[in-house]
Chain A
Amino acid sequence: MTAAEPWQIAEIPGPKKALVVTKPGVVAAMIKRAKHPILIVGHVAVETDLGDKKLVDYIIEFAKKANVPVVATAHIIGEFLKRGYEPAGFMPAVDIGNRLVDSDWMGIDSKGPHDLALFIGLPYYMEWTILSGLKHFAPNLKTITLDNVYHPHASWSFANISMEDWMENLKVMMEKFEEGGT
């Protein structure tokens, strides 16, 4: 697999494509540097097995360590609560996309506009299109996808990587958060 090809082969975006992240530590640093990041989690997170856990288990740990507020899309809020984690909010994926293009929106926690949106676990084509909406219409927002597939409409994305590498990347990022500093 070539490094920076969209996961779905026909999803060719245009001139502006996501920068490929090769070192997960870089993402961790960007998250730490962000003033007001937000993490949007789609329903695929509760269906994906990663090792002996679900992806959502990693995401919860990630969100806690990174101290990023989470928005659960689709119907998966209950899966977070079951695991004893309360996201900052839940709403349809297109609703959170639509709020993020509004520069006056005060954010999911009413603490002001977000400057960085992280995405994980949406169906590829939904995440693709929402990231596109943000790329074109949310000039003050940077986006990073934490998925294991290349998303050209994000500001930064991993390339298409294996499940093992993905798990490893998430772990590395979490370690970086624990290390503290920026």
Chain B
Amino acid sequence: MSRKGVNVKIDELKTDVGLIKNLELSFGKLVEDKWAEPMGPTPFPSLTTLREWDMKLLQRYKPFYMPYCDVCCLCTFGKCDLTGNKRGACGINMAAQQSRIVLLACCIGTATHIGHARHMTEHLIEKFGRRTPLDVGGLNIKAEAPVTRLVCGVKPETLGDLEEVLDYAETQLTHLLSVVHTGQEGSNIDFESKVFHAGMIDHIGLEVADIAQIASYGFPKADPEAPLVDLGYGTVNIEKPVILCIGHNVVPSVGIIDYMKDNGFDGDIEVCGLCCTAHDITRYYKRGKIIGPISWQLRFIRSGVPDVVILDEQCVRADSLYEAQKIKAPVIVASEKNCMGLPNRTNDPADLIVEDLVNGKAPGALILDSEKVGEVAVKVALKVTPLRKKFKTIPEVDEILRMAKECRQCSDCRRACPQDLHIPEAMKAAAHGTLTTLAELYESCVGCGRCEQACPVGVPIHSYIVKAGEKKLKEETYKVRAGRGAIQDVEIRNVGSPIVLGEIPGVVAVVGCSNYPRGGAEVAEICTEFANRRFIVVTSGCSAMSAAMYKNEEGKTPYEYFTGEFTSGCMVNVGSCVANSHIAGAAIKIANIFAKRNLRANYEEIADYIFNRVGAVGLAWGAYSQKAAAIASGFWRLGVPVIVGPHGIKYRRMLLGRADRKEDWYVYDARTGEKVYVGPAPEHLFYTAETKEEAMVMIAKLCMRPNDTFRGRSIKLTHYIDLHKRLYGIMPEDIPLFVRTLADIPVTMKDEIVKIIEEKGWKETVIPDPTLLPRMIRKRKE
């Protein structure tokens, strides 16, 4: 297939929208298809194509930098001291340096997703053929790849078509990464625009990876009733051999499941996963089990339950081989990206590898062939399980009580603990014979192991906490709905109007990693609160798991008592991290399917639509990774605000609006061309909340959009005010900013609010047909 010419046309396209028709021909195979929709203005955008759109957002949401370090050490000109916005030897100042680091983080995240997508696509093409159709939801889904269609202006139909899309993404990523080189970009705002570009490219990577695997592996296809699957330590039958897969790339896990099924071992072995691989295992195999988020890695390995550990890629602890060795569990590494220093045994006969792993001659093996991984893993599991007898490194209670007496109360553990857990006090209590104080730390412990590294007497503190919390760990038996993938067109049609009019108070996407400030229960609580309030609640990744780790009085998890349909009051798990593309896709499809805006290469218009009309907000309560940064930036460019938990402040820059600066909050009324004040809606684009209470109030607030009807705004205000009163114990002070006309005021609070806004000198405004794009104005002012 020809993959030439994708970039050649870009400049020409940028300069004259009218020329596009002539240029279409030169796009090659993908554009020769029968997609009737005319090509939009920005196919295959380059680094600067959407710069003006970015500047509009960045004008409102200015970066607030909080450097993590005063110096720059990126080249041998340095180290340079950039304190106080000083310039380094290359001339860069602190603001630009910070945005450069943000761009670097986003490039890392984007590279990880694109690399994942490339590996997945190549593997699936090899296995299933390049003509495999991209069926992600049968007749229920018309736009199989909304992000790709929007950004690239092409309509991929088969696995093979995805290669061209990835070519584009990889080219952009190379340019973006080159921007962080010494002596390239000098402006922080231009760095920020490139951060947005990286995020948009990242979303392409997400989408390609997920639609390729959905179409090829037969994952649930946009299925609101995707099966309820097991989650939690307690769901694993420890009488059986247990294979644990850690990471994000499900290909080796599929090899294991296929081998098991083909050779009659299905049901004899437990296959379980940690992190996103776990999601994708259960999308492929209903009997697969999710242990939990990434933070369960140490506790689960140390429990001795896994008999074989498979490591693929991303979010895998670098010490997992070492930890697995300690419990005598052989390790198979299955990704070129994560070889762990093990010899490459890909070309060795499977039985020879099995023998070496079972008799302990080798602690692990690198196997870059998923079918061989399957065979070796299953055979090793069957043989090694009776030998290792679930050997564990979590100590017994008497050992803890004894070792606790060795504690010097130096506090080094607490000072290393990201959660500032009061470990010394708990050790003191243990030395006096009680483990309850240690057990209390279990919920908040993110399993990082930093405390152990710090302890001068070598106390395995995390293991102690896990032992003390063992009862909780063993009772972890939950249900989560397997990742359903995309949202159906009919679901979009049903909710499009109430979302855009504001009658569904918002879409909350609870996504990302598990570096929570106080454990995952907060995630479950937030999801439940908003689903009960009839918001659309969507989850993915580790957050989707944490949301399941909570039961109501009837013993049901949120996935059991809220619907899996994308509708008011739902709890929808789209799947692993790469499935976040379906959340972006849903927002895009609201503009396209419901509002009938052209999708094809029409990024600005669609983003402008989402930004002004679709009351969606992302919450990444435990975001830690560079991938999470990239995913978030893709949402920013689309006009969707993102809230992170307190640890997210370490991303070192926020994009904050200034509600107190009236001049920042004007939009065009597309009907008249007038500039209209619409209030700070949404107030921020990227923001850290300190507590879950703050996050909940902010979620409700960030769902307001200029386009809300009276009824919609009054519903949104009701939730905002109600949560504020309950969680802050006071009325919000900024109500006047969100009341455009008296009809916006919730009826039940009318008198109270009218009094408040009148005291503050409130003035009525109009509800415009909002846009930031002058070209969307239908009638020019005379």
**Interface set of A (CB-CB < 8 Å, partner B):** 1, 7-10, 12-16, 42-43, 73-75, 77-79, 81-82, 89-90, 92-95, 97-99, 101-102, 122-126, 129-130, 132-133, 135-137, 139
Contact = CB atoms under 8 A, between A and B. Distances in A.
B164 to A, nearest CB: 41
Contacts of A126: 646, 649, 688, 690
B730 A92 contact: no
Contacts of B416: 8-10
A7 B415 contact: yes
Contacts of A13: 69-70
The 5 closest A-B pairs by CB, nearest first: A78-B729, A14-B70, A75-B693, A133-B66, A129-B66
Given A92-B687, A129-B66, A74 B694 contact: yes
B664 to A, nearest CB: 12
Contact of B83 (A9, A15, A90, A92): A15
B412 A9 contact: yes
Contacts of A130: 66, 649
B285 interface: no
A16 B730 contact: no
B652 interface: yes
B418 A125 contact: yes
9 contacts: A15-B81, A16-B84, A75-B728, A77-B730, A98-B62, A126-B646, A129-B66, A130-B66, A133-B67
Contacts of B688: 92-94, 126
A102 B454 CA distance: 39
A96 to B, nearest CB: 11
Given A123-B420, A139-B84, A78 B694 contact: no
Contacts of B81: 14-15
A137 B85 contact: yes
Given A77-B729, A99-B660, A136-B84, 6 more contacts: A9-B416, A12-B69, A78-B728, A101-B64, A125-B650, A137-B65
Contacts of B95: 137
B765 interface: no
Contacts of B654: 94, 98
Interface in B658-694: 658, 660, 687-691, 693-694
A12 B68 CA distance: 9
Contact of A16 (B83, B650, B660, B690): B83
B10 interface: no
Interface string B717-747: 0000000000111100100000000000000
Contacts of B517: 123
A135 B690 contact: no
Contacts, number: 126
Contact of B730 (A12, A78, A93): A78
A124 B122 CA distance: 46
Contacts of A79: 729
A57 B698 CA distance: 27
B94 interface: yes
A74 B691 contact: yes
A133 B84 contact: no
Nearest to A124: B420
A138 to B, nearest CB: 10
A159 to B, nearest CB: 13
A122 B649 CA distance: 12
Contacts of A97: 64, 66
Contacts of B733: 89-90
Contacts of B650: 125, 129
Nearest to A129: B66
Query: Counting chain A CB atoms within 10 Å of each CB, which of B84, B649, B656 scores highest?
Result: B649
B697 interface: yes
Given A98-B654, A139-B84, A14 B69 contact: yes
Given A15-B70, A136-B85, A74 B656 contact: no
A125 B83 contact: no
A125 B50 CA distance: 35
Contacts of B646: 123, 125-126
A98 B688 CA distance: 12
Contact of A74 (B66, B412, B420, B690): B690
Given A78-B730, A81-B730, A125-B647, A43 B691 contact: yes
A75 B691 contact: yes
A132 B66 contact: yes
B55 interface: no
A9 B454 contact: yes
A7 to B, nearest CB: 6
Interface in B388-418: 411-412, 415-416, 418
A15 B690 contact: no
Given A92-B690, A123-B517, A82 B70 contact: no
